[in-house]
Chains A and B, each alone.
Chain A
Amino acid sequence: KAGVTQTPRYLIKTRGQQVTLSCSPISGHRSVSWYQQTPGQGLQFLFEYFSETQRNKGNFPGRFSGRQFSNSRSEMNVSTLELGDSALYLCASSTYPSGTGELFFGEGSRLTVL
């Protein structure tokens, strides 16, 4: 069974640009969540989606947005990029609501903002 797939794996942008990251969950998983990982702040929750509906949102500015499609694939978008947005963005899928609470993470998209 394929794991969580994130694309692109690496990308470099400049301040003010926008970026879209993509996530394909494990087959059969209908819930997708996103986390930002930085050396200083660790892993911070961005959003959680289930059946195309955002169920939960973390404490991030409105420049961070996401969506989920009918096939459970998800995208997140960051507009007007700032230097501080440089991070590893991790997508995770789960069997919510019938699972144990386990999240299955992808390998992440590493964003560098110059």
Chain B
Amino acid sequence: QQQVKQSPQSLIVQKGGISIINCAYENTAFDYFPWYQQFPGKGPALLIAIRPDVSEKKEGRFTISFNKSAKQFSLHIMDSQPGDSATYFCAASDSGAGSYQLTFGKGTKLSVIP
């Protein structure tokens, strides 16, 4: 059972454009929603994260939008740059479970073309 569904699988965006990646979750106990960025040959690194008490969080060009009732959250990358080309994973965890175990989406490969 895939508890976090991520789309699209791949995304091509022109430099300066907006990249949007969507995720949906099933487990209502999830209360921590991070996005990780992974470059080839590297491990994933935290990009930005949100908790359900806010509907949006912005850090620089990266914004998470969160819709608790729809059980959906999304990553927006403004003014996308070639250096943003990477694979992005959404994830979720249940802090009440006494664990930092993350359930990941299957990833979105973003290519930003000049």
- Could you list which residues of chain A lie within 8 angstroms of chain B, going by C-beta atoms? 4, 31, 33, 35, 41-45, 48, 55-56, 58, 90, 92, 94, 96-97, 99-108
Contacts and interface: CB of A to CB of B under 8 A. Distances in A.
Contact of A102 (B43, B46, B89, B97): B46
B42 A56 contact: no
A101 B100 contact: yes
A43 B104 contact: yes
A107 B42 contact: yes
Given A45-B103, A48-B101, A102-B49, 9 more contacts: A43-B91, A45-B101, A55-B98, A96-B99, A102-B46, A103-B46, A105-B44, A106-B43, A108-B43
B90 to A, nearest CB: 11
A97 B98 CA distance: 8
B45 A105 contact: yes
Interface of B: 32, 34, 36, 41-46, 49, 89, 91, 93, 95, 97-107
Contact of B100 (A90, A103, A105, A108): A103
B49 A100 contact: yes
Given A101-B49, A105-B43, A96 B101 contact: no
B47 to A, nearest CB: 11
> Ordered nearest first, which 9 A-B pairs have the shortest CB separation?
A105-B43, A42-B106, A43-B104, A101-B32, A56-B99, A107-B43, A105-B44, A96-B100, A102-B46
15 contacts: A31-B100, A41-B106, A42-B104, A42-B105, A43-B89, A43-B104, A44-B104, A48-B101, A55-B98, A56-B101, A58-B101, A101-B95, A101-B100, A104-B46, A107-B43
A8 B89 CA distance: 25
Nearest to A101: B32
Contact of A43 (B34, B44, B49): B44
B51 to A, nearest CB: 9
Contacts of A42: 89, 104-107
